[in-house]
Chains A and B, each alone.
Chain A
């Protein structure tokens, strides 16, 4: 039962076949067994889980039809949950307890989900492998010597490794989609503004978006339906009706035109990866879709654009971590020395790198050359997508250029930044985009198969279309069922991680 989908679990709880508390207790036992190996959770929220499970059982008993009744949830640890430690996987917030709950988390709880714990991430969501966590190593359930991807590595590892049924992640330039691809689960970034960011500790405000991580597209759509919609506490959340998605999932792709991006040629990929994606494209056709070539001529500037805008915003967003009011404080001779000592000790190297890049990009004399030009490039990239969508209903491409890599494989920052080559343009354009399992490769030296993800993207606010297409693909290919991650050892005896 613990490995059932969210839809199945919630139905069982609603029909009183099993209680939310029973699920929570069983899941907490499994977390006890597996989390040491996986490193998915920074904080296991046993008390919060039991309390919420009891409340869900009461509400079910009172006749409430909760769509996520009793479903175990992993919350990325950059989202606030009242009374729990919320660390952003940073030393600077290592002991900060949130006094309020993020809107997206609150909506999941209101729909009946049970928070099992706070999941690891790259520090402040900056990274693509989860290796930038200052507090914990998270491993890929498919191969414990490999990274889960990032930055939502903990939530994805938890769902893939069976210690959560659903997860909440945040995606700034691919932080839901890339790890979902690496761990063989569904990761969905809705349109920017669809899901409230209130209570999500900001990395890059104009790009950050919360979204679901799930075993199936249907589960993802149920979570999306629960969390989407205007929030009076987030001025950037969009005030337009949310179309329910869960009841509108398609079974085939007939009549659908899917764009294949000319500039995203598969030629530079490893041959087995390339083969898997070529197969995925043929599967789309087999399911009835018409493939058309589209062009995103400026998408190649995505990574450069992103690494100006996101650091610029983060340099400002992370200023508040100064040792004055909360979090780490390292004393100094005066307030300036205290700031310097606190931030030097509290932030890891990648966070510092981005703060410095962003500070430089915004500074007097460089602002026009960097920040303003990056914003113009962003507008051009969004324009490319708009033109492409005149010719197709959705765009398909790899979610990442490879399967999960080993720890310490990307030694220089730039090669790590390129991991998000296929996900960043969609983030810059604010588009709804997801990764769905699409095949497997078995690289040399790998014990078993490693999953790959197909990224599907549709126009702004067309989440129903996107989830519908992804569901049809998932049903038509059964990649999610073809393999399962191997047994997770009860204790960690694994090398390879830093």
Chain B
């Protein structure tokens, strides 16, 4: 019997290594600018070109960025850290070794918390974050696949060589492609908030590899893993892991064995393909870089670098999602836009309600912002937004009026409350006033009244609309419906008549 027939279920076990380019003025070990792009080989010097005799001098800010990144996730900062050389030959690596960190990284441990779109909270432990230098870029020409093997020539650009890069290594705590994306998203959000990186995947400032294996649900043993490379966006991370777990599951269900290897993600084909097997793995001959002194941290340094809770997106997200009950997507939308988050805060001061403020701001005002190309916080002062929210919440205007008022005050700096006052737009919630309109409509719409009474519930919607129209939109639809139902059921002239049973 095959696994499929026995109903064996599999789960994925995923660990992620991601490289994040740090945001600094200069490169990791020289004074060249840390800038993306530029004419090839113009942003270089003897140090980042690895010229004979040149020596590295570490960038203090880059070191502090990594420490802050680790502290954001509760990592431990060892008092003593060092740089090591990772030795291997590659044409775009100027010294044929990379200055990296082997056994004494800048940060150890820590936990990344994240929320999936359905509101479920997940977490993944960090193994470590270490600091290293980026390589240059190669363009291999004259081969079909752009790889160095079989290419006729290679072009090298060292502008990126020596850019500070932090490598975040996770424990294999991730169980699905969706969790992997949520984990990366949490890293990105934190790094951007702390100003340690811009995290622009399209510029390659976040690059990640995933170690993926699958095992039977309930098993404690790990399956054979593959390492997936070349994932250039969160979407490709999602697709690549989904594709790879499906591939592995198909192998296991056919009674096969997964081979430990490195596999590249082919974005166009939507599959992973084998790059090299474990047997070809390098011996990197790590040893402490004798050009660089060890890095030592005093408790005072660490205290100075410790991020404040209000700097951390996960503090904010926990509040919005877990305490205020906001949907995950909405919470992310607010936290990811610092100006919007400040705006929401200002509105909440006046309304006293995070959910009410957030759900209003993220609906019509955001739509208007997209349509008009103006930011919400420019076109709608917080007090105006708060007035719109409070007017509706207090039943003084209905949602239709709220929308109309929003469009009216958008970009004008006018006060919605004053307009309501001045123009008598307040919603009519008074039963007596509403009753007048209701009786008017019942008298005029015999057919619909009869339909409703015959059990056609949709007729009520039509009648409510008619009452609203009669009130010129000012009636409170909730009151209208209640009064209508009362009148239509209190006296029931149509019951048992030919009219009533005919429909």
A residues lining the B interface (CB < 8 Å): 78-80, 86, 88, 93, 96, 98-100, 102, 197-202, 204-206, 232-236, 312-313, 315-316, 319-322, 324-326, 334-336, 339, 359, 362-364, 367, 371
Contact = CB atoms under 8 A, between A and B. Distances in A.
Contact of B56 (A200, A235, A319, A359): A235
Ordered nearest first, which 7 A-B pairs have the shortest CB separation? A319-B96, A206-B290, A205-B290, A362-B285, A201-B52, A199-B53, A201-B53
Nearest to B291: A205
A99 B52 CA distance: 10
21 contacts: A88-B52, A99-B51, A100-B53, A198-B54, A199-B53, A201-B52, A205-B291, A234-B57, A235-B57, A236-B55, A316-B287, A319-B87, A320-B94, A320-B95, A322-B89, A322-B91, A324-B91, A325-B49, A362-B87, A367-B285, A367-B287
B500 interface: no
Contacts, number: 101
Interface residues of B, number: 31
Nearest to A193: B293
Interface in B283-310: 283, 285-287, 290-293
A235 B85 contact: no
Nearest to B52: A201
- Residue among A202, A232, A335 with the highest chain B CB neighbour number at 10 A: A335
Contacts of A363: 283, 285
A233 B89 contact: no
B234 interface: no
Contacts of A339: 89
B264 interface: no
A79 B53 contact: yes
Contacts of A322: 89, 91, 96
A359 to B, nearest CB: 7
Contacts of A316: 85, 87, 97, 285, 287
B58 interface: yes
B91 to A, nearest CB: 5
Contact of B283 (A102, A197, A364, A371): A364
B49 A86 contact: no
Contacts of B283: 363-364
Contacts of A206: 290
B25 to A, nearest CB: 16
Contacts of B148: 334-335
A197 to B, nearest CB: 6
B149 interface: yes
B35 interface: no
B97 A326 contact: no
- Residue among B95, B286, B290 with the highest chain A CB neighbour number at 10 A: B290
A393 B311 CA distance: 57
A80 B290 contact: no
Contacts of A96: 52
A359 B285 contact: yes
Contacts of B286: 362
Interface of A is mostly: loop
Given A312-B287, A334-B149, A363-B283, A235 B51 contact: no
A187 B75 CA distance: 51
Contact of A200 (B53, B149, B285): B53
- Residue among B53, B97, B291 with the highest chain A CB neighbour number at 10 A: B53
A100 to B, nearest CB: 5
Contacts of B154: 335
Contact of A99 (B46, B87, B94, B292): B46
Interface of B: 46, 49-58, 85, 87, 89, 91, 94-97, 148-149, 154, 156, 283, 285-287, 290-293
B149 A93 contact: no
Given A233-B55, A320-B50, A362-B287, 7 more contacts: A98-B52, A100-B53, A201-B52, A205-B291, A235-B293, A316-B97, A325-B49
A319 B89 contact: yes
Nearest to B46: A100
Nearest to A197: B55
A325 to B, nearest CB: 7
B120 to A, nearest CB: 42
A295 to B, nearest CB: 29
Contact of B52 (A93, A205, A334): A93
Contacts of A100: 46, 51, 53-54
Nearest to A372: B287
B158 to A, nearest CB: 8
Nearest to A207: B290
Nearest to A338: B91
A196 to B, nearest CB: 8
Nearest to B49: A325
B278 to A, nearest CB: 14
Nearest to A336: B89
Contacts of A334: 148-149
B290 A313 contact: yes
A351 B64 CA distance: 39
A336 B81 CA distance: 34
Nearest to A309: B290
A323 B287 CA distance: 24
Contacts of B95: 319-320
Contacts of A102: 53
Contacts of A320: 50, 52, 94-96
Nearest to B287: A362
Contacts of A200: 53
Contact of B53 (A198, A313, A336, A359): A198
Contacts of A88: 52
Contacts of B52: 80, 86, 88, 93, 96, 98, 201, 320-321, 326
Contacts of A313: 290
Nearest to B50: A320
A332 B148 CA distance: 14
Contacts of A321: 52
- Residue among B46, B58, B285, B291 with the highest chain A CB neighbour number at 10 A: B285
Contacts of B96: 319-320, 322
Contacts of B293: 235-236
Contacts of B85: 316
A324 B46 contact: no
A315 B156 CA distance: 24
- Residue among B52, B85, B89, B287 with the highest chain A CB neighbour number at 10 A: B52
A79 B54 CA distance: 10
A326 B58 CA distance: 25
B53 A202 contact: yes
Contacts of A324: 91, 156
A232 B55 CA distance: 10
A198 B55 contact: yes
